[in-house]
Every structure is written in C-alpha cells, then in structure tokens.
Structure 1
Amino acid sequence: MSRGLAAQELSAVTASHRAIAPCIEALFDSGALRLTLAPWDLTFGGNTYIAAGALINVREAREATGSVEGLEFSLTGLDPAILTIATQEPYRGRVIRLQKGIFNTATNTLIANPRTWFLGRMKSMVITETNNSCTVTVVAEHYEAALGRPSPLRLNDADQQRMYPGDRGCEWVEAMTERNIVWPAREALMR
C-alpha cells in the first residue's frame, strides 16, 4: 500500500531489501509500554521504543469466519519490570497500537514517523512460565469489533435520565412509539 507515503518511504518500500520495524505501544494506568522489533531503540514523536528484537512475535488472531480479526502479541524473556506490569496492571480494554516504521539501512534512522497499522483494545493476557523462560501473550481486538456488537443503550426516558438526570428530552418517546402521525397535516395542504 503506497498511498500517502513520502517519496523516500516509497523508494525504501520498493527496494530489494526492506527495513521495516514494527513498534508496539500498550497503554496502561501506570504509563505506556513501548517496544520495537528493531535491533536498536527507536525514538520518534518524543517517545522511545525499547528494542525487544526476537523476543516479540506478532500474528493474526483468528476467531470465526466473517469476524473482525485482531492480533496476538507474544513476548518472551521479558524484563522483570515488564512482567510486573503484566501481572499487576489492569489490561482489559486498554489501548494497544502497532505501528510500522521504515528506516534507512545505511544510517539506521527512521525515514519518517511510523504509521499506525493496527489500533485496538487488549482482550486477554496469558502468562506462561517454565523453568527458564516466561511468555506473555496478549490478544487484542480491533476497534471495529465493537461496532458489530449491539448497543446496551435505548432511546427512552430511563436511559436518558441515567445519563443526564433532569433532562426531559425523551419524556414522551415511549408514548409516541405506536402513534400514527400524518405529516403534513391536511389543513396545511389546503392553504
């Protein structure tokens, strides 16, 4: 997909050797966890993405045919501070973003700020420990997945009062559900 790419990015993408670094940003209550698959730390937008290299695996999460797919992030051999975040921070519904950065292989610098490739919410987190390693697997669903679920709100007075106490905007909605209204009125057409 070359739409919206700068000339330098386009030439880097069409080259025989592509240098692309995925960057993961997970937002927790205590702050953001930023990791990259690049072999060195990346800094852009005032944020530093820590090089995790081969410790991260990103793949599609398959659930059902026709569903909005998500991503599965697996992190192995983690820093104890990151493991503390995984075990003690609330994660469900928190934002996670995957960005793709294109960099120059001669200078090891980003050509432009990475572009968002996936934006979603964390759904589940599984921690698997063995004698000599620890793996944290985060499953995230895409933002569009929420659009397919029914909304729990209705256009009635009870929901309106719950959200905006004292508002009388929906007071007569239920009385009008079965009412037959002819518009415009017959008298208005005779003028």
Structure 2
Amino acid sequence: MDLFPETIAMALGGGKVECANLVHFDFTSAPFRIWNGEGVLRTNDGAEWPGLGGWGGMRGIEQAVNGEAPEASFTLSTTDADVLRLAREEFEVECKGRLVRVLIQFFGVDDPADPGNQRPLDLPYPVWAGRILTPTFTIDADSGERTVTLSAESLFSLRSRPRHAMYTDRDQQRRFPGDMGFEFVPTLPNKVLTWPDF
C-alpha cells in the first residue's frame, strides 16, 4: 500500500501538487490548529486549519541526528495587545508541557482560474512532535508589532529520562508488593555465567 496514493496519482497524471505545513497545538482547554497559508484549509479527516497568512513561522523542525534533539520554535506576530496578554497570563495553564505536532499536507492545484484552491490529497502526515517549553515576548518599538514565540523540545529529547521507575527491588516492591522479579538485580553487574552448565 502506498503512503500517499492520491498525491502520487495526481503527480503521475501531470497535475500540480503542493505541500503545506500544519501545526497542531494540544492546549489544555482545546486543540488549536493552524497552517502556513491563507484562509481555512479543510483536510480529509474533517479538521479545519485556519491560515496564518504570513503572520507566523516556525524553525528548528529537524530530524534528530547523532543523538541530538534540536529545539524548535513557533512564532506569532500580531499588533493585538490582547493576544500578547493572553499568552502571558495563560501560558502555565494552557501551554507548558503540552504536545505540539507538525504535519505536512499535500494538495492539488489544477484549476488555472483558481490557482489558490486547496484540494487536500490524502491525510495530513505527522513529521515532528514535541513538548512546549517556554514563551518569549517581544515588542518592536518602531512598528508596535508584538511577537510571541513558543519554544518546544523534540520528544526524542526525553529518551534519556527515567520513566518514573528504577530497575531495583525496592521500587518493584513499592509498586507490586511480593514480586521478586528484581530481587537479584544488584548481583548482576560483572557476573560471569557459564552456559551451558552440564
């Protein structure tokens, strides 16, 4: 089965295929979806993605290479003071530690009379995921433009953190009293085993 059958069929048929970035913020009160184009994009899964129309951007969306997990950032520029105020006051409750996903959406454009139409091909495909860390706020003294930037760490950066448990008998007993599965763990380092043992 092909990963993007509609997209491939459109491209092979000589149609024009474009790609857009979609961002899904899993805020506490409700999910927030945006995309990097104009107007509302309606994807084949029934979701609606309002367009930023050049008022936002993102950077640092990279594949983790050589054990590194680069930090990403998502920026929204606005002249609305209320947006900046809400971002400051609601950040801890709404955003901190919440999941953010970046997806790609292919769509076909085959109408010369309406080159800006968006006809989604296939479903949005996730390419990056992370957790929101901290906000940064700036105000341009000349234009009065206000900017809020959310930084996020890749989920890959969590790979070295313990999952709230240790491979010890004490931790296992706390979780499952009487379970002896980790009783001999302290004796295992540098232990020599002979196998087969006749």
TM over 0.5, shorter chain: yes
- Aligned residues: percent identity? 19
Q: Which residue does the alignment assign to 1:189?
A: none
Decide whether the 8 Å contact of 2:19 with 2:106 is kept in 1: yes
The 3 A distance-change label for structure 1 pair 76 and 41 is same
The RMSD of aligned alpha carbons is 3.4
Structure 2 residue 196 is the aligned partner of structure 1 residue 172? no
2:61 and 2:134 map into 1 onto residues whose CA distance is: 12
Q: Which residue does the alignment assign to 1:32?
A: 31
Equivalences, count: 181
1:156 and 1:58 map into 2 onto residues whose CA distance is: 42
Q: Which amino acid aligns with 2:90?
A: Q
Tell which has more relative contact order, 1 or 2 (C-alpha 8 A, sep 6+). 2
1:46 and 1:83 map into 2 onto residues whose CA distance is: 31
Q: Which moved more, 1:85-94 or 1:39-48?
A: 85-94
The 3 A distance-change label for structure 1 pair 88 and 178 is same
Q: Which residue does the alignment assign to 2:124?
A: 114
1:2-21 mapped onto 2 (5 Å cutoff): 4-9=3-8, 11-12=10-11, 19-21=18-20
| Cα shift at 1:71 | 2.4
Decide whether the 8 Å contact of 1:19 with 1:103 is kept in 2: yes
Q: Which moved more, 1:48-57 or 1:71-80?
A: 71-80
User: Structure 2: where are the runs of 5+ without partners?
Assistant: 112-116
Q: Which residue does the alignment assign to 2:73?
A: 72
Give the alignment's TM-score, normalised by structure 1: 0.74
| Cα shift at 1:17 | 6.1
1:137 and 1:56 map into 2 onto residues whose CA distance is: 9
The 3 A distance-change label for structure 1 pair 56 and 151 is same
2:133 and 2:12 map into 1 onto residues whose CA distance is: 32
Decide whether the 8 Å contact of 1:9 with 1:111 is kept in 2: no
Q: Which amino acid aligns with 2:30?
A: G
